[in-house]
A and B are shown apart, each in its own frame.
Chain A
Amino acid sequence: MTAKSLCHFADASSSSVSTLSPAPISFPQKRRQKTIDDLYRDCWGDLTAWLYRRYGVGPPEPEEIAQAAFAKMMEVPDLSLIRNLRAYLFTTAVRCAIDGFRGQGRAQRFIDNELKAHQEEVGEITPERVFIARQEFSALANRVKALDPKQREVVLRSRIMGQTYDEISQETGWSKSAIGRYLQSALVELAASNPATALNDTKE
């Protein structure tokens, strides 16, 4: 989807809107469009600039990732549950980016398939999970902060920036075996009290 069509989708007065949504727009849909519209206006520039700083010129290009992220946001059923829309948008963009990095996306799909073969599934980021598990996510953030700085850097580079050991090694000068050690020990520490397991045990 191009930037232009995204904008038109958000602009109810535009003539193209009738072809996109022929049914009368109900009140919540209108409000939801306004939220996307506002998010687009406030975050498009920030997001593309941020993606450029995190991932460079690509491919995938920052604008491609941003557009994919906005397209995904439009499919989110209940935006009102999300307290921090900006973080949610940026996370969605990171996931689109990871999907676009050939190696990382492939690894993730391979893992999903392997787990599915044993009826195990990894929960996606959804408004419901973000809503219910807010405290668990912030506990996880605290565990990331508590990591040794080298461990933390490897986690951020690997998970969010999608870098391989080779790339991390080039950037930091650390050996690949050291990077592997940092990452493994960090994973053990982060999973020590897994937020996901608390998802169905809501407060109380």
Chain B
Amino acid sequence: MNDNNKKSTQDPSHQAEIEAQAAAWSALLYSGEATPADQIKFSIWLKADQAHQTAFRRLEQTWRDVDYAVLSDEELSQNLEELHPASVHQGRPKAWGGMIAAAGVMAASLLIAGAVFLWPAQHAPSTEYRYASPLGEIKTITLPDGSAMDLGSDTQVIADFSDKERSIKVVNGQAFFDVVRDEQRPFSVKVSSTEVRVLGTSFEVVKQKSGVEVFVVEGIVNVLDLPDRAPPQLADEGLPSARLTQGQSVFADARGTLGAVRPFEREHAQSWRQGMLVYQNAPLADIVEEVNRYRHKKIELSDAPLDDILVTVSLPIHDTDLLLSALEISEPVTITMNQDIVSVNLNAE
């Protein structure tokens, strides 16, 4: 949807005229008054000019986004509450009220008792920042404290900064941090059940299906296995943790259980930031998992023995199809392109 400016060079009054026409069409089409002849006229208008298509699509997007915008806003939800539905006068509210109550009782009786679900509290907007990178792209961001953050493809991050701490949550994907030292405000990165705490250093975290991997490029970091339920305490000496220095990595599974601290190939951990995915004797399953984060059409390994094949390859992030060509040449595999997936099958002997 990056084509909004196709005709942005139009003169403003002409553009305004097109927008007014688009609004008139939209209003008519949803009015309940549009005749088949109107629909044909609309088709002709839409076809006449690409600027019409762009303007109408933008307007239609706004129109459809109104419901979430209204329902996620307290004041507007209240406004909505005060309006009457057209059919309510013909209905029998009392009977329906009874039925709704009955449905409530039924639902309650079928559900086992559990904790009360709390809606996420509203944070002070001044301290929370959200960042995301589109699929196939890498984004470099300067955080409010001056620290640098590189986001890998399809990554979402929430940063919550206060006077006392700098806290980051990696919701999805892969991120590299170059942290400005501030002893008064520890910097922490939370991914699933794992937390990385530092004062000032550079490191990378990768959220994978099976867990989280942390790589330290410079300085010292502490990686903690957070308890499943309780929120992370400030005094957490009791938590399982690992201390990593430059050139070391650790893997934590989905529950946060930490593996052994190991050295890593610096080249691999850093190369994605330069737009390359570099692997040396890496299991194919791991490569495919990472490569898929850069691809719209995902790769699927159809036969389990393929997972453990060790592969050495360098791929530009914008041309990960090279992996498929390399596999086809070096391994006994057949590659099938389907509509939304590429499957790799082991050839029958």
- By a beta-carbon cutoff of 8 Å, the part of chain A in contact with chain B is 3-4, 7-8, 10-11, 13, 26-28, 34, 37-42, 44-45, 48-49, 52-58, 62-63, 78, 80-81, 83-88, 90-91, 94-95, 103-104, 107, 110-111, 114-115, 117-118, 120-123, 125, 128, 130-132, 134, 137-138, 140-141, 144-145, 152-153, 155-161, 163-168, 170-171, 176, 179-180, 183-185, 187-188, 190-191, 194-197, 199-200, 202-204
Do residues B67 and A91 form an inter-chain contact, with CB atoms below 8 A? yes
Do residues A62 and B71 form an inter-chain contact, with CB atoms below 8 A? no
Query: Assuming the A-B contacts A42-B117, A156-B83, A203-B130, are A187 and B69 also in contact, with contact meaning beta carbons closer than 8 angstroms in the complex?
Result: no
Top 4 nearest A-B pairs by Cβ distance?
Answer: A164-B32, A38-B117, A56-B87, A167-B86
- Please give, as numbers and ranges, the residues of chain B lying within 8 Å of A145 by CB-CB distance: 73, 75-76
Do residues B64 and A165 form an inter-chain contact, with CB atoms below 8 A? no
B298 within 8 A of A: no
Query: Assuming the A-B contacts A55-B87, A118-B47, A121-B1, are A140 and B65 also in contact, with contact meaning beta carbons closer than 8 angstroms in the complex?
Result: yes
20 contacts between A and B (CB under 8 A): A7-B107, A41-B114, A48-B100, A52-B97, A55-B85, A56-B90, A62-B96, A86-B119, A88-B68, A91-B72, A114-B42, A115-B46, A115-B53, A125-B64, A155-B66, A159-B67, A171-B84, A180-B27, A188-B20, A191-B62
Residue of chain A at shortest CB distance from B61: A196
B133 within 8 A of A: yes
Do residues B85 and A54 form an inter-chain contact, with CB atoms below 8 A? yes
- Please give, as numbers and ranges, the residues of chain B lying within 8 Å of A138 by CB-CB distance: 69, 72-73
- Please give, as numbers and ranges, the residues of chain A lying within 8 Å of B65 by CB-CB distance: 125, 137, 140, 195-196
In Å, the complex CA distance between A55 and B39 comes to 27
Query: Assuming the A-B contacts A87-B72, A115-B53, A141-B76, are A122 and B66 also in contact, with contact meaning beta carbons closer than 8 angstroms in the complex?
Result: no
Q: Tell me how many residues of B have a C-beta within 8 Å of chain A.
A: 91
Query: Assuming the A-B contacts A11-B111, A45-B100, are A152 and B79 also in contact, with contact meaning beta carbons closer than 8 angstroms in the complex?
Result: yes
In Å, the complex CA distance between A82 and B104 comes to 25
In Å, the complex CA distance between A57 and B88 comes to 7
* Contact among A54, A158, A204 with B141 in the assembled complex (CB-CB below 8 Å): A204
- Please give, as numbers and ranges, the residues of chain B lying within 8 Å of A91 by CB-CB distance: 67-68, 71-72
- Please give, as numbers and ranges, the residues of chain A lying within 8 Å of B117 by CB-CB distance: 38-39, 41-42
Do residues B100 and A176 form an inter-chain contact, with CB atoms below 8 A? no
Residue of chain B at shortest CB distance from A87: B72
Do residues B32 and A78 form an inter-chain contact, with CB atoms below 8 A? no
In Å, the complex CA distance between A30 and B115 comes to 15
Do residues A104 and B30 form an inter-chain contact, with CB atoms below 8 A? yes
Do residues A202 and B131 form an inter-chain contact, with CB atoms below 8 A? yes
Bitwise, B24-36 to A at CB < 8 A (1) or not (0) is 1011111111100
Interface centre among B19, B56, B90 (most CB of A within 10 A): B56
Query: Assuming the A-B contacts A3-B107, A191-B23, are A11 and B112 also in contact, with contact meaning beta carbons closer than 8 angstroms in the complex?
Result: yes
Since A3-B110, A152-B79, A183-B27 are in contact, a sample of 10 more A-B pairs with Cβ atoms closer than 8 Å, ordered by chain A residue number, is: A48-B100, A88-B68, A121-B57, A122-B61, A131-B130, A145-B73, A156-B80, A159-B67, A163-B86, A187-B63
Do residues A115 and B112 form an inter-chain contact, with CB atoms below 8 A? no
In Å, the complex CA distance between A49 and B96 comes to 9
Residue of chain A at shortest CB distance from B21: A184
Do residues B86 and A87 form an inter-chain contact, with CB atoms below 8 A? no
- Please give, as numbers and ranges, the residues of chain A lying within 8 Å of B26 by CB-CB distance: 111, 187
B255 within 8 A of A: yes
B254 within 8 A of A: yes
